[in-house]
Structure 1
Amino acid sequence: MKPLTIDYCGELYTVDGPGEFGIGRESDLSIDDNPYLHRRFLTVTSDFGMWWLSNVGTLLTATVSDSTGTVQAWLAPGAKLPIVFQTMHVMFSAGATTYDFTISSEDDYFNTAITVNESGGSTTVLPVTLTTSQRQLIVALSEGVLTQTVPGRGTIPTSAEAAARLGWSMTTFNRKLDNVCDKLDKLGVAGLRGGKGKLATNRRARLVEYAVTTHLVGLDDLPLLEQGSERPDSQPPDSQRPDGEAAGT
């Protein structure tokens, strides 16, 4: 097998040995001294002629995607997956901080060219349909990651901070957050539905990880934040809502 290269904050690490390469608070790749981060969170190992990324932690999860954002997976504790793309992005949150790094390989087992629906010789990508206010909410939560001053390390605001950034009340913000998470959950995005033992902080972090790694939001969406205090509950007419969403949700 050919060696892997891991890029974190501009520092390059080569993985070519038969043993485990650890990633965490105190590992071969020491991410940060964040107390919320496992000492050993992720490992890269070789097996069955392939490289594998494993979550050896007990609490944290990681979001993994290819370079286009069209293939995305949620790596829960105890899970492992093969590294099959030439470029793999890994993002995870520990406390209020979100980290990301890139794994590069010379091997490319799968072609992830974007092909979703073809008609008349053209290719059409079918994105997640979001209202303006839903997109504003996601951008407000993702702003610190999208504009991070230190590559590979961003922050996620509290609900109160994000609501204030948009000029919304907490009631409006929480209703919008519930609606966005329900919509994505119905589309099969794991880790967003609240429940016993699942804190709101984890849900916000998971939403940011998914939105950024799949390119659901980007830097071009930042101007939406300046519209937050104008009409926080603005929605398109019912006839224009393909998902049948009710007004004010």
Structure 2
Amino acid sequence: MVAANDGAHLIVDDLIGTRRVVPQTASVTLGRASEFPIGVDDPSMHRAFLHFWCDHGMWMVRNVGSFISATIQPSYRTTKYSPVRLTPRTQWPLPAGVNSILFATRNLQYELEVTVARPVESIPRMDVPLAPFTMGTFDPNIEQQQVLAALAAPLHRDPSADPRIVVPSVKDLAGQLGWGEKKTSQKIQYIAETLKRLGVPQFQDGVNVPWRIVLAKFAAENPHLYA
């Protein structure tokens, strides 16, 4: 991966007619109620989702949402690198060249092109948008947070581990939490069904993996839900 450095501008293109050139002295936020609007008619889109700025000569992107993840991958016109999953509250340096950013809500799939045209420098700034809160967000209660944290713990200890091996069984999880197996199983099922209703792709019909495993991977990618 080749990161941008030495003074460049950023080009953001939603591929449906809106394109903006961001100079090295500025930043830009994308979202339903942000300066670069995306998904304005999609109530499941975050009001503020992706924030771009330049830090010490390098263009950065941060997922400032609380629910939706994005995948950043090289466009056919740019240097090759492995796709990167940008989960909520995480950030990543953008490589020089053309980058595709893919994400989805329960209603729509989106694709953007973000080009680091020449290497930059600036200070991040983000205004808080004024609009109704995003529909379809997940705000777990204390017991749900305990389930998420316990399921994700083995994957935090060893991100390369196979979830099917290291994620605790319902029986072991119940023992860790001091609950009965029935209560533990019901908690897992309820969280999974809630995320399914909210349109989270991993929890839709056709997934042939136990919810416990899917939920563990989701929790590991979204520690802000229980940290």
Normalised to the residue count of structure 2, the TM-score between the two structures is 0.48
Structure having greater relative contact order (Cα 8 Å, sep ≥ 6): 2
TM-score (norm 1): 0.44
